[in-house]
Amino acid sequence: MAFREYKIGCFMFGFALSFSMFVTIFLPGLDISGMSSTKLALEKQLTYGWETGFNYYDPFLQGKDKPIKVVLSKDPRTGAAIDKTDAYVFPAGTHFPDGLTHDNILGEKVQAVSSSKGRIGEATEEAGGVFLVRVDADDTPYIEFATATRGWTADAVLKAADEQFLAGSGKTMFVREGCWWCHTLLPEETQDWQTFGRPPLVGDFNGESPTTFGSDRKAPDLLHVGARNSSREWMTMHFFNPRLVQPHSIMPRYDYLWGSKDAEGNNIDLAAWDKEYMAYADGSEVYPPEVPTPASDSEARMLIDFVLNLK
Ligand code: HEC
């Protein structure tokens, strides 16, 4: 190597080093802890509950200890009709998300309104209860502890619910099954936004961990997938065997998330299903075998609820 190139190399190295020192020393001065939660961040906190990552508390990542998101169209206490409302039910003993136990991470204003109007300070994990996400007259989103403010108990809300989503448990499945190896939850570039919808805002992630952004995309972004495809039937077939609906898909099957029984309590025999499917694949049968309806407590149901809830 010529001496001149050596000198240029040294200069470049020196420049890179001082630039990275500048970043290390000055950028932490940008404090994002004051970032205010968006309404979406509050909804995610209450949907996903306490997220443990991969620790000893949740060694088998079974989606236990999670809140249930429900849709209400009547007041569970009085029975009076109300506008369609999402409510987040934490049965007694369910761990709270970080946004409730360390509410300073919600941002100053959101925290203040959630404690004054929303009375979240009265909620305890031992007793559990029901939460709502609301927006006050100045457009500040906040969490309301409906058990204190409206007398809504977990049991009454579950009974009155039109629909229940096990989306919190489903997020655990999404992490455990490694969906993020192929899928992102982060539309990144402008051409992406046209296909996959709006990019997230910084405040959408207050208190969420893991964020499941994904990294290296091999498949469609899923941040808003429930908005472009809300069909539970399609999702059911696609998770059981993606080739039933997308003939050349590289996505793996997730038929084992159905467990041993379907929604009617019949045994699921994956080997027998495969045999019939192979007959269909090689053309000796006209129709593929039917996909079993997932049981209401199956991991497949949890995962589908999570995906349909991504709007
Ligand atoms: C090996 C890569 C891979 C893995 C792992 C994977 N997928 Fe996929 N997925 C794909 C590909 C490729 C497509 C597009 C073709 C298709 O629809 O099958 C897709 C499509 C989808 C779609 C439809 C997207 C749309 O735009 O309508 C959903 C929903 C989905 N995957 C969810 C999941 C979930 C949840 C998991 C984890 C349980 C998962 N995928 C794991 C590759 C993958």
pLDDT in tens, the chain (311 residues): 565 666 666 566 565 556 555 555 555 545 556 689 999 999 999 999 988 656 555 656 788 899 999 999 999 999 999 999 999 999 999 999 999 999 999 999 999 999 999 999 999 999 999 999 999 999 999 999 999 999 999 999 999 999 999 999 999 999 999 999 999 999 987 788 888 999 999 899 998 988 899 888 899 999 999 999 999 999 999 999 999 999 999 999 999 999 999 999 999 999 999 999 999 999 999 999 999 999 999 999 999 999 999 99
Ligand 1 nearest atom to the CA of residue 249, by list position: 18
Task: Give the phi and the psi of residue 207 in degrees, each rounded to 5.
Answer: 80, 0
Q: Give the residue whose CA is nearest to atom 7 of ligand 1.
A: 251
Note whether 95 and 50 are within 8 A (CB).
yes
Ligand 1 nearest atom to the CA of residue 254, by list position: 38
Question: How far does the centroid of ligand 1 lie from the alpha carbon of residue 306, in Å?
Answer: 13
Query: Reading across the β-sheet that carries 141-145, which strands appear in turn?
Result: 141-145, 129-135, 81-90, 68-74, 163-165
Q: Give the residue whose CA is nearest to atom 43 of ligand 1.
A: 251
Question: How far does the centroid of ligand 1 lie from the alpha carbon of residue 236, in Å?
Answer: 12
The confidence score (pLDDT) of residue 150 equals 97
Question: How far does the centroid of ligand 1 lie from the alpha carbon of residue 130, in Å?
Answer: 33
Question: How far does the centroid of ligand 1 lie from the alpha carbon of residue 220, in Å?
Answer: 7
Sign of CA dihedral 281, 285, 291, 292: negative
Task: Go through the domains of the chain in sequence order and give each one's CATH number.
Answer: 39-166 (no CATH), 171-308 (1.10.760.10)
pTM assigned to the model: 0.88
Note whether 45 and 207 are within 8 A (CB).
yes
Pocket residue to mutate for ligand 1, from 251, 254, 305, most atoms within 8 A of Cβ: 251
The reply to whether ligand 1 has any atom less than 6 angstroms from the CB of 171 is no
Question: How far does the centroid of ligand 1 lie from the alpha carbon of residue 64, in Å?
Answer: 24
Task: Give the phi and the psi of residue 198 in degrees, each rounded to 5.
Answer: -65, 145
The confidence score (pLDDT) of residue 56 equals 54
Residues in the chain: 311
The confidence score (pLDDT) of residue 234 equals 98
List the one residue out of 69, 30, 62, 43 whose CA is nearest residue 133: 43
Question: How far does the centroid of ligand 1 lie from the alpha carbon of residue 255, in Å?
Answer: 14
Q: At what angle do helices 167-176 and 299-308 cross, to 10 degrees?
A: 100
The reply to whether ligand 1 has any atom less than 6 angstroms from the CB of 249 is yes
Question: How far does the centroid of ligand 1 lie from the alpha carbon of residue 98, in Å?
Answer: 29
